[in-house]
Amino acid sequence: MPEVLQILLVGLMAGIIGGLLGIGGGIVLMPFLRFCVGLSPAYAAGTCIVAVFCTTLSGSYRHHKLGHVNIRSVLPVIAAGVVATAVFSLAFPWMARHDHRLDIGTGLVFSLISARMIIEGLLEIFGRALPRSGADETRASLVHTLAIGTAGGALPGLLGIGTGGIMVPAFALILKTPIKTAIGSSLTCFCANALVSSAFKCAQGFVDPTVAGPACVGTLAGAYLGATLNRKFPSAMLKIMFGAVFAYVSLKFLLSFGGAGT
């Protein structure tokens, strides 16, 4: 029971962060499942993505109700992401038997993303924001949207981890959407990817249901609360918070290079 309660509370925390910042909450869940619960890397990834699906489902629903999601505009991203997730999920059993070789690259990319988001948030605070459309919808070429969807689908399929580090900056910086719309759109697209990835991980036998159950309950409640809290934070603050979270993520990736897999 104490362990179940711990999993529930950590799931709640992961859901709040996910709903607030447009990420899946894996940044909280993955290290907890690996180092506190003691799951193997493959089982931690598979179990985590199931809980992350609940985060994205609850969070995207709440963001849609708050008017932060234009479903029609993100359909190409969702379609490309679902296909990419399914394709890359086929390689997950192979990845489960090998060390991760992309940690250093992922860490560098995340560090650049986090720096960009923090800088832009600070510019907004000091009244020097970059020009941005005020419309709550994504506007870009089909090539851009398909590329973002494909990139967003690769990580949950191949590694069982989230795509908030790709999707939120892509919507905000490439597609030029307001940050709250970027967060809601990221959760909506990630929801479809996480569903496909979860189905594959379950079929491949990489999910621990005794851990996934309480984690899902926590993330469902937490994501709804986090999405509700989102509207109380100014856009600039959300950018800085998002950047700080992924600065930490990038550091974890970089420090783990050459050591234990993440």
pLDDT above 90 covers a percentage of the chain that reads 35
Tell me: pLDDT of 133 over 50: no
214 Cβ partners below 8 Å, 6+ apart? 4, 5, 7, 8, 11
- pTM metric for this prediction: 0.78
Average model confidence (pLDDT) across the chain: 82
Taking only the tens place, the pLDDT of each residue in 168-188 is 888 888 888 888 898 899 999
The answer to whether 193 and 153 have CB atoms below 8 angstroms apart is yes
Per the listing, tokens 């981890």 go with 161
Taking only the tens place, the pLDDT of each residue in 40-49 is 878 988 999 9
Q: Which of the four pLDDT bands, split at 50, 70 and 90, describes residue 200?
A: very high
Tell me: pLDDT of 69 over 50: yes
Q: Which of the four pLDDT bands, split at 50, 70 and 90, describes residue 104?
A: low
Give me 103's structure tokens: 């940690």
